[in-house]
Amino acid sequence: MLPAWQSLLESFGLRLAIYFLIGGSVTALTAYFASQGRGILSAFITTLPLLTIFSFLVISAEAGGQTVQEYARGLLLFTPPWICYVFVVMLGTGRLGLTRSLILGVLVFVLLSLLMQKALEGTKLQI
């Protein structure tokens, strides 16, 4: 049986809209502090595990603990490609411009993620 508040949200289809608003609030806060020249605070807010905590809670409510474990494993596996993405953007913005460095960074992220998936095929850590 669903808690009364969750049943109410589900019946009105508001659940996903609330998830979207919470994620958007963190994004807006990040952009605000960055625009005020407070890049370190902005980065801290972005990397603060608030969205991850929220994601864990939502995934658990929607699909259970096993899915939370699978999601957490995926986060750890995609961390090295994400770090490479950030380095490409950081180093490339001055040389290539923001748009090109973002495109290149995402390309590097996707390629490294695919390579990791291929390398982990058949292991316990398989994605």
Contact criterion met (CB below 8 Å) for 26 and 42: no
Domain spans in the chain, listed from the N-terminal domain onward? 1-48, 65-127
User: What pLDDT, on the 0 to 100 scale, is given for residue 106?
Assistant: 97
Alpha-carbon distance of 59 to 79, in angstroms, equals 19
pTM: 0.68
Contact criterion met (CB below 8 Å) for 36 and 24: no
Answer yes or no: is pLDDT of 1 > 50.
Answer: no
- Tell me the pLDDT tens digit for each residue of 10-67: 655 677 777 778 778 888 988 999 999 998 888 888 887 877 888 888 888 888 889 9
- DSSP labels, 15-77: HHHHHHHHHHHHHHHHHHHHHTT-HHHHHHHHHSTHHHHHHHHHHHHHH-HHHHHHHHHHHHH
- Tell me the pLDDT tens digit for each residue of 63-105: 888 999 989 988 888 999 999 999 999 999 999 999 999 999 9
